[in-house]
Amino acid sequence: MNPKDLSSASALNLEHYWMPFTDNRRFKAKPKLVAAAKDMYYTTTEGKQVLDGLATLWCVNAGHGRPRIVEAIRKQAGELDFAASFSIGHPLAFRLAERIAGIAPKGMGHVFFTNSGSEAVDTALKMAIAYHRLRGEGTRTRFIGRERSYHGVNIAGISVGGVPANRKAYSGTLLPNVDYLRHTHGVAGNAFAKGQPPNGAELADELEQRLITLHDPSNIAAVIVDPVSASGGVLIPPRGYLERLREICTRHGILLIMDEVITGWGRLGKAFAAQVLGVEPDLITFAKGVTSGAVPLGGVMVKDSIYDTFVDAPGGGIQFFHGYTYSGHPLACAAGIATLDTYAEEGLLETPAALHDYFQQGIHAFKGLPHVVDCRNLGLIGAVELAPREGAPAARGFEVFERCWDKGVFVRPVGDALAFCPPLIAEKKHLDQMFGTVAEVLTTLP
């Protein structure tokens, strides 16, 4: 579609749409509207090209408007627009689950579909509680989350999540039985670390020494962490940290849930962070890149032993009283299969080390530029952190975002950290444009 055919911002009535996670007044005073997208670029309603430096919202891993994915959605809409998965099914959901199981960490061969990452998190937490109960350990109802981790926006997700702004208004409504690990950011000696920072593995020990001691393992169902806390500021796990969490969970019969909504689907150089980091979780939540963002889809992958515990439970009948109308929606599954085909054909789940190195060099070239206090990266995700303006945290980050947009590059501020998470089809020239534009903006930024 020619973007010039679409209504320009001035012809649109912006009032009625309540935009999510957005300063609505500010946006509507100066809207940024995109009309079309192809590969690495958006076209705005004014016809300007904007490089997508964040895979939109950490999800368009195959790039925009990829022919296989577009065609699969088109075809599926005409063939079977919708069929549910409650006691009747359709082949696509089974096919996609099989494909996901084929690239999942070993022994995680079962997949439950949701429509989003937030629903995936709710689903995983409910699975953990129900699993323990089925095994006669019904006292295990407590969760351990972590400061600065992001697990979506449903009540359960913000309860185990550690983003203060997302929790503040709901303080009295959050799940009661949750405790928190400290986040792993800001450990001495870790600033400007390339890849996983060297210090801080011992922060995992507080799970055992403090939280498990306090609550007793018999009361704890699961620990949930995002391997890289992306929306928490792109916090990279210290070397050895996740491994220690794994060991402690295993020792005490606690399930480890890794929230791979952002780290999955090739972001770190393999299909899942669990594989890159060599840690075996019991459950993995996913969303976003499973369809490269083209149709909403999320889900939970579980160890086979967890699935077996449910389906072999004595008594028969429905084994898990949970599911969404659109769990395994045909359009989403068709998009998912086509996305996995695209990833496989183009080797996107295992992008070359040379690209990761180039990305790392680009991120760390910011060291020494005005306001820069930290640079960090892992795989094809990274951040450049700026010192906040006095009395106005996040203002500097937001201004960089706006100025870069005007110059044709989209990067996302997370507070005063600028996040980089390009589609996995990015080439050197795209990284040059992305980093070059941000660097240029920084040199003139107050």
User: What is the binding site for ligand PXG (CB under 6 A)?
Assistant: 21, 57, 116-118, 121, 150-152, 226, 230-231, 259, 261-262, 287, 298
Tell me, what DSSP letter sits at residue 7? Answer: P
CB of 225 to ligand PXG, least distance (A): 9
CA-CA distances (angstroms) from residue 402 to 44, 171, 398? 14, 32, 6
CB of 232 to ligand PXG, least distance (A): 9
CB of 145 to ligand PXG, least distance (A): 12
CB of 214 to ligand PXG, least distance (A): 26
Q: How far apart are CA 389 and CA 77, in angstroms?
A: 50
Of all residues in the shown chain, the one whose CB is closest to ligand PXG is 117
CB of 22 to ligand PXG, least distance (A): 10
CA-CA distances (angstroms) from residue 439 to 49, 135, 221, 361? 19, 55, 45, 13
Would you mind telling me the total number of residues written for the chain in this entry? 446
* Ramachandran angles phi, psi of 27, nearest 5°: -60, -45
Beta bridge partners of 286: 299
Residue closer to ligand PXG, measured from CB, 287 or 301:
287
CB of 117 to ligand PXG, least distance (A): 2
Q: How far apart are CA 114 and CA 259, in angstroms?
A: 14
Residue closer to ligand PXG, measured from CB, 273 or 409:
273
Residue closer to ligand PXG, measured from CB, 260 or 280:
260
Q: How far apart are CA 218 and CA 400, in angstroms?
A: 48
CB of 110 to ligand PXG, least distance (A): 20
Residue closer to ligand PXG, measured from CB, 325 or 361:
325
Residue closer to ligand PXG, measured from CB, 108 or 120:
120
Residue closer to ligand PXG, measured from CB, 259 or 385:
259
Residue closer to ligand PXG, measured from CB, 93 or 411:
411
Residue closer to ligand PXG, measured from CB, 212 or 383:
383
Q: How far apart are CA 131 and CA 311, in angstroms?
A: 11
Q: How far apart are CA 98 and CA 340, in angstroms?
A: 11
Query: What angle in degrees, to the nearest 10, is found between the helix axes of 353-364 and 428-443?
Result: 10
* Ramachandran angles phi, psi of 261, nearest 5°: -60, -35
Report the b/e string of 391-406 with b at 16+ CB within 10 A.
eeebebbebbbebbbe
Say if strands 220-225 and 255-259 run parallel, antiparallel, or are unpaired.
parallel
CB of 270 to ligand PXG, least distance (A): 17
Triad 208, 224, 321: Cα angle to 5°: 120
Residue closer to ligand PXG, measured from CB, 151 or 303:
151
CB of 274 to ligand PXG, least distance (A): 14
Which helix (DSSP H) or strand (DSSP E) does residue 121 occupy? helix 117-134
Q: How far apart are CA 179 and CA 176, in angstroms?
A: 9
CB of 419 to ligand PXG, least distance (A): 7
- HSE of 248, CA atoms in CB hemisphere, 13 A: 25
Tell me, what DSSP letter sits at residue 14? Answer: -
Residue closer to ligand PXG, measured from CB, 212 or 271:
271
